[in-house]
Structure 1
Amino acid sequence: MLSGRPPSTELGIDQLLERLVSGSSRQKRSTASALEKVSEQLSGKAVVALKAYSPEGDEWGAGWILQILQRHQPKALEAIPGVSNGWFQMPSSCGIDYTALQQALLHEQFEQADRLTSSALRQLAGDQAVQRGYVYFSEVPAMEALDLTTIDRLWIAYSQGRFGFTVQSRLLSTLGGRYERLWPRIGWKKDGVWTRYPGSFQWCMEAPEGHMPLVNQLRGVRLMDALLQHPGLASRS
C-alpha cells in the first residue's frame, strides 16, 4: 500500500491555503490549480486567508486568491476591503496612480496591463519620452526606483510569479546573459523581427515565463538591458 500525504487536490481548503503560503515553489503551483476548484469554499475564507500576506509585498499567493474570486466568485471579491482600489499597495515617488494597472492585472487583462506599463515608463522617463511615445535607454537610470519596484511587484503578484522585470532578469541570468536565447520567450521571432500579433506574443497566464511585460527592442536590447540593470530592479533580482 502506498503511504504518504494525499495529493493537493484531496486536501481541505485550510490545508490548501496553508500550502499556498508555506509550501515549496512546486507545491504552491500545484496548490494554485487545486484551489481554483474550490472557489466557492475559498470565498468564505478569503478575508482571513489574505491576512497571511503583506500588501506591501509581491507574494503571488494573495494575487491568485484575488484572481480566483474575480474569475468565479466576483461578489465575494467585492466584500474584501480595499480591492476596488487595489489590494496591493502602489507607492510612487512622482505621483503616478497605478490603480488601473493593478485592476487590469487582477482581471488578467494582460495586454491592457502591458500598455499601461509602457505608459508609466514613458512618464517616468520624462515629458520628452511622453511626447515622442517611447523611451530611450539613456533615460532609464534617472527613473524612480520606487515606481519601477511597484510595477514589478504588481506583475509578479498577479502572474503566479511568472511575469515581471525581475523575472526576466533572473531568466536572462540562467541563459548566460544571452538575449538571443531570451527573445523567443518575450515575443521575438527567430529572424529577430518583433511582432505582437498574431501568434508570437501571448496575453495570458499560460504564456512562457518572463513573457511580459513587453519591452520595445526594435532598436536592440539596450532599453531592456538598462531596465534590468536599474539599481531599483537589480536589487530585487
Structure 2
Amino acid sequence: MRRWQDGQQLDDGKYIIEEYLGGGGFGETYRAQNRHEGKSVAIKTLNLYQQFQPDFAKTQNKFLKEAMSLSKCRHPHIVEVYDIFREGDFNCMVMELIDGIDLATHLKENGVLSEQKALSMIQQLGDALTCVHKQNLTHRDVKPENIMLRKRGMEAVLIDFGLARQATLSGKLMTNSSRGTEHYAPIELAEQRPQLGAYTDVYSLAATLYNMLTDHKPIPSQGRKIIDPFIQPKQYDNKISDRVNAAIIKGMELEPQNRPQSVQEWLDLVMPKQAANEVQLVSAVGMDYRNLRDLLAAGKWKEADEETSKVMCKVAGKEYWLDIESIDNFPCEDLRTIDQLWVKYSDGRFGFSVQKRIHQSLGGTGELDIKIWKAFGDLVGWRKNGRLLYYYKDLTFSTKAPEAHLPESLHKWIYFGMNRGEYECDEDAERWIYSLASRLVKCNI
C-alpha cells in the first residue's frame, strides 16, 4: 500500500481522507471526514516501513489487538478510539481528532509551566496511564510531543500509542520494538529484549514533568549510565518545591527496580496524599475553589450556589451562563471537584452526581423525554404545581430542600436562556439535564 491521497475514500465510502498528519517508527496518521456523522477524525494504520517487513502479518495482528485494547480505555485524558476497520490488507484505527496543540509546542511558545499547572496535567496523564496499564498495555513513548492540550480548558490528552504492546499476565512486557525518544526513554528500552512494566512509563512521565518545569530535556538515560551527569530540576529553577524535585529524581532512577513500580505510587510522591475526607481542589484551568469550599463548609448554601455558577462560567470562558456545548466540553477535573465539594458538605444530599443518579433512576437516557424531565423537576423541587420555578427566590437554600435540589445552576441557566428567547422550557431543560448526566458519565463521576 502506498500512502493514501487526499480525497481517497475508505471503508466503503464512510471515511474520506483530508490530509496526511504524520507518522513515526510504527504508524502513520491521517485526518479524515466521517461522512456518516459529519465530523473530522484521525485514522491510523501501519506505516510504509512496517509494511515491507517480513513479519508484517504478525505486526498487523499486534496493531489490531492494540486498537481493541485502547478502545476499552474510556478515559477523558486518553485519545478516544471510535472504530476499527480493515481497508484492503490493512487494519485501521479511527480515533478522536483533538482540537488543540501538543505540549511541546505549547512549552516552546509559552515557556515553562507553573508547578501548580504542571502537576494538574501530570495528575491527568497519570490517571490516563493507570487506565492503560489496567488493560495490560504500556505506552512506552510518553513525551511532550505525544501529549495534546485541548483548546477548550487546556486538558492534557495522551496520544500516539504506536509503541504500545500487549503485556504478559505478569504485567510485564517482552519485546524488541522501537525505543521511543531518547530524552524521555528509560534505560531498559535500549536493551535487546527489554522487560517492561508500569515503571517504564513512570520514568517517561517524570522526565516529561522535568521538561515542563525547567524547559530543558533530561540527559538521555544511556548517557547517564556512562557518566551520570544528572542535573536536578531545582538547579534550573530553585522555586521548584523540594517534594516535586525529589519525586522527579526518584521517578527517573536508572534501574527500574529503584523506581516506583506503579504510576499511582509515583503520584503519591509528587503530590501529598489528601486526608480521607478532604476534597482535592483540582482544576484543569487553574481555578481556585477555596472560596466555594469555605462557603459550603459554613453552610452558606445560597452564596455557595452563586459561587458555583460564577466559577463554572469562568472555567468555560462564559460571562453569565453555560450553553449545552459548554457542558458537553466542561473539564472533568473541575466538574469532579465541584461535585465532590457539594456532596461532602451536604452529607451526600446535594451535588451533580446526586442529580445524575435521580435522573437515571427515573429512566433518563440519551433520548429527549419531557415526562422524565417533569418528573425529575418535581422530585428535586425545581417545579411546583406543574410549572418550572422561574424565580431564584422561590428555591430552597437549606438542607431541608429536596434531595438534589442544589446546586441549581443548571436550572438558573435554563431560565436565563429562556429569557433571552434561546430556549423553550421543557424540551431544552431535558436536553440540559441529559447533557450534564452524559458529561458526568464520561468523566466517571
Query: Given the two structures, how large is their TM-score scaled by the length of structure 1?
Result: 0.57
Structure 2 partner of 1:217 = 414
Distance 2:313 2:282 in 1: 17
For the structure 1 residues 113 and 152, does the alpha-carbon distance in structure 2 shift closer, same or farther, using more than 3 Å as the test? same
For residues 214-236 of structure 1, what are the alpha-carbon distances to aligned partners after superposition, in whole Å with 9 as ceiling and x for unaligned?
A: 01323332233212211566522
Q: Tell me the residue number matched to 2:437.
A: 228
Unaligned regions of 5+ residues in structure 1, if any? 1-53, 63-86
The structure with the greater share of residues assigned to strand is 2
Q: Give the direction of change, closer, same or farther, for the CA distance of 1:118–1:173 in structure 2 (3 Å limit).
A: same
Give the letter aligned to residue 217 of structure 1: I
The runs of 5 or more residues in structure 2 that have no matched partner are 1-272, 365-371, 416-422
> In the alignment, what sits opposite 2:295?
104
Post-superposition shift, 1:148?
0.4
- Verify: 1:174 aligned to 2:361, yes or no: yes
Checking the alignment, whether the CA contact within 8 Å between 1:106 and 1:158 is kept in structure 2 is: yes
SS at match of 2:399: coil
1:186-209, Cα deviation, whole Å (9 max, x unpaired) = 4223332333455x4110112111
Q: Could you say which structure has the larger radius of gyration? A: 2
Aligned equivalent of 2:328, options 113, 138, 141: 141
1:94 to 2:285 alignment: yes
Partner Cα separation in structure 2 for residue 197 and residue 138 of structure 1? 24
- Give the secondary structure class of the aligned counterpart of 1:115: helix
Partner residue in 2 for 1:154: 341
For 1:113, the equivalent position in structure 2 comes to 304
What's the counterpart of residue 384 of structure 2?
189
Across the aligned residues of Structure 1 and Structure 2, the Cα RMSD in angstroms comes to: 2.1
Percent identity of the aligned residues? Answer: 28
Instruction: Please state how far the C-alpha of 1:166 moved relative to its aligned partner.
Output: 0.6
CA deviation vs aligned residue, 1:5-38 (integer Å, no higher than 9, x gap): xxxxxxxxxxxxxxxxxxxxxxxxxxxxxxxxxx
Q: Deviations over 1:73-101 (max 9, x none)?
A: xxxxxxxxxxxxxx532111101000010
Please give the alpha-carbon distance, in whole angstroms, between the structure 1 residues aligned to 2:350 and 2:356: 11
Residue identity opposite 2:336 in structure 1: T
- Asked if the contact 2:348/2:354 (under 8 Å) is kept, the reply is yes
Matched, 1:123 2:332: no
Partner deviation per Cα, 1:30-64 (whole Å, 9 max, x = no partner) = xxxxxxxxxxxxxxxxxxxxxxxx8477xxxx5xx
Question: Could you tell me whether the CA contact under 8 Å between 1:105 and 1:158 is conserved in 2?
Answer: yes
Secondary structure, aligned partner of 2:387: coil
Residue 157 of structure 2: aligned partner = none
Partner residue of 1:208 out of 388, 393, 402:
402
Structure 1 counterpart of 2:401, which letter? A
| C-alpha distance in 2 between matches for 1:225 and 1:165 | 12
Shift in alpha-carbon separation, 1:134–1:212, aligned structure 2, 3 A: same
Structure with the bigger percentage of helix: 1
Could you say what secondary structure the match of 2:325 adopts?
Answer: helix
The answer to whether the 8 A contact 2:279-2:337 is kept is no
CA contact under 8 A between 1:111 and 1:203: conserved in structure 2? yes
Identify if the C-alpha distance between structure 1 residues 217 and 159 changes in structure 2 by more than 3 Å, giving closer, same or farther.
same
Structure 1 residues 120 and 223, CA, compared in 2 at 3 Å: closer, same or farther? farther
